[in-house]
Amino acid sequence: MGRNISIFADYHQKENSLTNYCGLLLKLLYEESPKQFQELITTLVKTDKNIVIGPTFTQQTKEAKSIPDLAITQKSFSIFFETKLTDWFYEDQINRHVNGFNQNSEDKILFLLSNFESDNLESRFKKEIKDAAKSNIVLQPLSFEDFIGSLEQVFRTEYLRNLLEDFKIYLDRNGHIPKWKYLLDVVNCKGTMHEINENVYMCPDTGGPYNHRRAKFFGPYADKKVSHIYEIKSVVVIDKNLESGKVKWNNTNQKENNLIAEAFEKLKKWEWRINENKSVSTQVFLLDKKEKTNFKKDSSGGMMQSKKYFWDIALDCKSSEELAEKLFEKDWSNFE
């Protein structure tokens, strides 16, 4: 038997606690304003479907056997959430949710809520979305980040906004928001600045010092400073002897074939990179949106390691322009 959503839930599994907190925010929003709850659901569902929450008031509407002066009616709806800590959804479970809807409901929505690292969720769940649509069910994958962003638009009272800030802290503390979107990867590029100037960074795909965490921002280091900030469009791995390429990360909405083609074009500009690729696969970082800054290493000596991560340095930045401005004339020690 299911439990009602409660602020005093005693779940021991993190997944159940997280689901309860999400449901509590939705419940409080509905109690505050059914209209704003409807606005939220409409925002979350990326279709043209008209979702109506709450009663409608119409006058002189023809019913089956009469025309009442005033009609107050309400559409029935069912909204399911399947919440996971990681992107581990499987088709059998989704099908059971689809088959579990009350068939008398006029609007049926199934949200798949998780910390999705990829952005092309409609493509990722293309088959499941199509199968659910056959049963007149909207299946909508949803990241915690997008969930929070939509709540920010409809939480208008101070009470709800304070709750939302606490929830964001909880999500961040437990790793439910993609860290890569706020990560700056600073890489020692003193010997390859000529490549950086062509909006590309390349290194062998051999792991160890060349193993990079997914990041949104890239800072080439030389002469004790990072002079420019880039956004990483994608990282493409080109196999030995230029045989094939595959996208490791895609931080944009660009098609993978286009990114792979661009990576091949960048690598082939330098003969020594072609020769290097004959013995080892190559990681190609496609860089974009170059912005000038002056982010200085203020400790003694040069950069001894090949890379350095600045976690959460871009929490308040949406672009390389904003991050470059934030770091201009700043020292590394201010963020370590």
Residue 159 has pLDDT above 80, yes or no: yes
- Mean pLDDT in the chain? 89
279-299 pLDDT, tens digit each:
999 999 999 999 999 999 999
Segments making up each domain of the chain, as ranges: 14-177, 180-335
Instruction: Tell me the sheet residues that pair with 221.
Output: 188, 226
pTM exceeds 0.85 for this model = no
User: What's the one-letter identity of residue 310?
Assistant: F
pLDDT tens-place string over residues 90-100: 888 999 998 99
Q: Alpha-carbon distance 177 to 81, whole Å?
A: 18
Query: Per 3-state DSSP, what percentage of the chain is helix, strand, and coil (rounded to 5)?
Result: 35, 25, 40
Predicted pLDDT of residue 1: 45
| In the block, residue with structure tokens 């099908």 | 95
Q: What percent of the chain has pLDDT over 90?
A: 57
* pLDDT of amino acid 62: 66
**Can you tell me the distance from the alpha carbon of 16 to that of 5, in angstroms, rounded to the nearest whole number?**
11
